[in-house]
Structures are given as C-alpha cells and as structure tokens.
Structure 1
Amino acid sequence: MLPKGSKLYSIIFLSCPRCHKGKFFEANPYKLSNFNKVKERCPKCDLKYSIEPSFYTGSMYVSYAVGIAVAVATYVLILLFGLDLSLPTLFITIVVVLILTMPWIAAVSKSIWANMFFKYDKEIAQKIN
C-alpha cells in the first residue's frame, strides 16, 4: 500500500494534497452531474484548493500527457495479448478506451496539477482525526 505523505497517494486516491484525508472532488469522477468539480476547500484541513481563478486550466496540459499514456498503455496491452487488429480497429479501440476513461483522466490530471503546487504537511495531517 502507498504510504500517506507521498504525492502518488494523493493523486491515486484523489485526496487533499496537504492532509491526504479530505476528499478532493465533490463526487466520483463518473458521476456526470458533478463531473470533475473540485471542492472549494478541504473538509478536513480547510486548504483552499484554488490559488487563483482558472487555476485548473493548466491541468489541460497534464490531461494531454495522461491521455497519451493511457493510449500507449492500451496499445501495449493489445500487443501483449497478441491481438492482431487491423489499423482502423486498433484506432477505434484506443479512441473508445480514451472516451471511457475521460472522466478519470480529467480527475487525475487536476489532482496531479494541485499536487504540483501544494505539499503534504505531516503536522497538519497528524492533528486531524
């Protein structure tokens, strides 16, 4: 299991970058009514998740990289399973996987972006129960 205090823990579990205990998003990324909506503040440590207006616009660049990683991983898995797909079928398969993982990619990208600007604070995390 990943230890609390690592950025990877916060990214994978979509938790607060500072305390790793509060939820980062209003709801599950696949709940389309609250699609990709970041909470204003951490419910545990009261960290304001947005430094400035349009703070998460930069996560678009991160989502591009995460999307490419998902596409490459899909292609590698197709090769590892020995599937002999034609080029159009391969393309359609990768596009379908990208569409299905789009909410997750967007959520993880925002979490990565926030973790680039906020760091884990062990003292605050220990004060919170």
Structure 2
Amino acid sequence: MSLLKGTKIYSIFTGTCPVCQEESMYEEKNPYKLHRVFKMHERCSNCETKYKIEPSFFYGAMYVSYAVGIAFSVAAFIISYIFLNASLLTSFFAIVGTLIIFMPVIMRLSRNIWINLFFSYKKNTGQV
C-alpha cells in the first residue's frame, strides 16, 4: 500500500490524514468498535490539519455513503446471483446481510472520500 502514498486512494483506504498521510484520522482504527466508529481526532498531530472544516461538515458524507452502499450491494448481488447461482430472494438477503455487516466500513469509507474531496496531499507538511 505504501506505493500508493501521495494519492487520494491511499488516504481513502487507510483513513490517514489527507494532507500529510502520516496519521490516522480516527481515534480507533477498528471500525467495528461501534461506540467509537465516528470518533476522530480534532487535528492531525503531524501537520495540524483541522478535519472538521465547519460544523456538520461530515453530513455530506451521507451522499457518498449512498453511492458506496450501492457499490457494495451490486457486488453482493453479482457474487450471489451470478457466481453462486442463488435465487433472487437469496440474493436479496445477501445484499441486506452485506450492508449490515459492512455498515461501519461503509461509514468510514464515506467520510474518507468526503474529506479527500476538499484536501490534497502535500509533500513535506510535517513538523520539522
């Protein structure tokens, strides 16, 4: 994954600061600890980037979450219906199960995508 460092893809999939990509934005790396899934650091300790630009900044991630959820649903349908030859009802349950199981991952990915729309990677932004 370090080959992708400096790209938005790296920051999105690792959950690191979108500016310096040195520190996780989240207090808890594991998204399945549900009581802490939304807990984020206020600022990056490496480059001092403030993650919440304004109050309610991450409400926009709900729109991204919809698209990410559709992508997960399509993937679950293709795997269950086409590759595993399941019925439509079984495929429906596979989609619902996928969305429930991956809900914390989808929420984090959506936030990561949203914040990366507003920030860009800058080399050498760390403290000296």
Corresponding residue number in structure 1 for 2:7: 6
Aligned positions, number: 126
CA shift at 1:123, angstroms?
A: 2.4
Corresponding residue number in structure 1 for 2:119: 118
More divergent stretch after superposition (98-107 vs 23-32): 23-32
In 2, Cα distance between equivalents of 1:56 and 1:34: 16
The TM-score normalised by the length of structure 2 is 0.91
Q: How does 1:1-129 map to 2 (within 5 A)?
A: 1=1, 2-27=3-28, 28-81=30-83, 83-125=84-126
Q: 3-state SS of the aligned residue for 1:10?
A: helix
* CA contact 1:17–1:115 (8 Å) conserved in 2: yes
5+ residue gaps in structure 2?
none
5+ residue gaps in structure 1?
none
More divergent stretch after superposition (6-15 vs 68-77): 68-77
Runs of 4+ in 1 over 3 A off after TM superposition: none
In 1, Cα distance between equivalents of 2:79 and 2:88: 15
The TM-score normalised by the length of structure 1 is 0.90
Question: What is the percentage of aligned positions where both structures have the same residue?
Answer: 50
C-alpha RMSD of matched pairs (Å) = 1.5
